[in-house]
Amino acid sequence: MRLVFLCSLLGLILACSKTESVQDRAERAKADIEYRLPKALYITTGINFDQPAKDLPKDVIAAIHSFSSRGVALRLEARDVLYDYAELAKYSIIVLSTAKGNHDQDRRYSLTYMTDAEMRNLAQFVQDGGVLIAGDNVGRNQFDGTDRILKTGVLSPDIYPLARVFGASLKEQNVQGFRIESHLKDALAGKLVPEVDYEIWKLVPNKIQGENPEVLASWTSDMDTLPALLSNRFGKGRAYLLASSDLLLPANAGGALGLRQIDAIYEYVLEQCYQDRALPFFLNAWPAGHQSAFCASFNSSGDIDSYQRVVDRLKAHSIRATFFLHGDIKDNIANYLQGTDAELSSNGFAYRNYAHANYPIAVNDIKQNEHRWNRNFTGFRFPYTRPSFSGLQSLAQHNYQYDSSISANHLEFIQGALFPYNLLISKAKFYLDTEMLEVAPCFHDDYYFLKKIEQSGYSNPLRMAEDINLYKQYLLNFWQRAVKPNKGLMVYLGHPGIIGHSDSTFYALEQLIEQVKQDDAWISNLGELVEYRQALYQLDVSVHPLAGSRSFELKIDGPGNLNIKELSINCREKPTNAVAETGSVRLKEQEDFYSIIFDASAGQTVRVDFE
């Protein structure tokens, strides 16, 4: 009897401890949310492998670029997270888009279907200081499919918890003959959506519920004007209601606006976020104040001379490259590479088309290559850069940290991201957060321009020189027009057998490296870069003004093993002094701001003084 009583008592204590720990986690997460440097969360199922294009929805890519280029780490999550308030409270901004492509795995997975519990968590998130960006019809339907608006014809606070958050009740309105006119400036000035020439019903605000919601854009016709984009202060936070999620989807992907306008929307939201919180600091995307980043990576091909040429020429530039290895590499090349300091990652053992590989085949090929090289790889690139669901699932379940297969192309069209992002994948109504990062290589590789080297060879040296020059120009254009303006990352993708064929062929890459150095980019390897980006997801920086002075204390929080070398936090005004509790601090003057650089670990504090 005593034993039964003691076991029951122990169970009760453990249950209470568990409950308290969950509550404590939520309280810690939301504490000082309005003082933290922003982190963003985007709800999506990620890459849909039931579709032909193996890439993220284009509105997700646009958000990654907009937030990341401004030093705001953006994480992708499936909607399950909406039930976990402690997890939501780790972020400052949540984006809920209902644009086509984000939630196509299951109709009920769409954010138009939402429980009251999910909406209450979102309302609490905003009330505690968070920022919510929501597209049309978010939470309109109950999760069983019932349309909430059917009861009274209006989505009012008593049946729609988000009405208070948005500052307005919503009703349906036929917007045929209406256009959306912006009340904002610069890239968002004027007409955002042309006059609708067909019958379509949209939810529009019909009764203002908030104290002072601001209309940023309006549905306008010759007869009437209705709010189309609302900004509303709710508690300590702010919510934005968009007339349509197509405003976040690029026009060339079926949306309403261009990339520049979408970027301007996110820029506006971020600027307002910093103003509401009176935050004078913002995070830098890359360490040591660098405004862009570069990595060199190589797939397997060529003889020992070409590998040696590539390694030696890169070593002269102090570049440690990443080589993706398969199982057919000759022993002399394998021995050579393992004797260098190059980062070695996997290209699979022998299977060439993972799209045809089921899970057991994918696992076997991945593990066989680890056995061949006698190492546990952390990075992977699929043969011919063609990822598959079963392949990514296999990598995730065998502790790989990153994939580098989904190419970035922002010279010809929007594909891939110029910043690493965490991989969510879905297929056949199953979705998975792999916890890996996708690090997108440059779209066109050396084979695209110089394939004759491996095919028939060049009979005319002048033609070879022309192709080398064309390749050089492509690389420089990609860097200068796509990567550098977005403060992003360029992952060079080459083959030792092509780019390392001779000193002449290496010229194209060498010219790119010289430009990258001139532009003061962070030159890294994929493994190091992934570690840094993963650390940014875990990092929290809170900003606390010190009473009676123009001084601030930056507090670093995160897991106990958090250690970020040369973390950079930017400010518009030049500090008069910056001192860390441990370690040194240095100041780097940029074009229009200053970078405060220091080594960050959990518990670290930095005092920054201004005149």
What ranges do the domains of the chain cover? 27-280, 293-529, 539-609
Rounded to whole angstroms, the Cα distance separating 172 from 286 reads 45
- Class level of CATH domain 27-280: alpha beta
Separation of CA 269 from chain center: 17
Rounded CA-CA distance 480/502 in Å is 26
The pLDDT of residue 180: 96
SS3 for 166-220, per residue? HCEEEEEEECCCCEEEEECCHHHEEEEECCCCCCCEEEEEEEECCCCCEEEEEEE
pLDDT value of residue 520: 97
pLDDT of residue 24: 52
Backbone phi, psi, residue 275, to 5° = -65, -45
Question: In a 10 Å sphere around its CB, with 0-12 CB exposed, 13-18 middle and 19+ buried, how is residue 112 labelled?
Answer: middle
Nearest Cα neighbor of 136 from 115, 94, 166, 108 is 166
d(CA 450, CA 460): 13
What pLDDT sits at residue 1?
A: 36
pLDDT tens profile 550-603? 999 999 999 988 999 999 999 999 999 999 999 999 999 999 999 999 999 999
β-strand partners of 555: 542, 605
Which residues have C-beta within 8 Å of that of residue 371, sequence separation ≥ 6? none
Place of tokens 């110029």: 418
Domain spanning 293-529: CATH superfamily: Glycoside hydrolase/deacetylase (3.20.20.370)
Q: Are 106 and 144 in contact (CB under 8 A)?
A: no
Determine the pLDDT at residue 101. Answer: 74
Which H helix or E strand runs over 436? Answer: strand 430-438
Extract the tokens encoding 368.
């066989």
Distance, CA of 3 to CA of 12 (rounded, Å): 14
What global pTM score does this model have? 0.92
Residue type, 483: V
Q: Cα separation of 37 and 273, whole Å?
A: 10
Radius of gyration of the chain (CA): 26
With beta carbons less than 8 A apart as the criterion, state whether 132 and 233 touch.
no
Give the residue ranges of the chain where pLDDT is below 70. 1-32, 103-108, 210-211
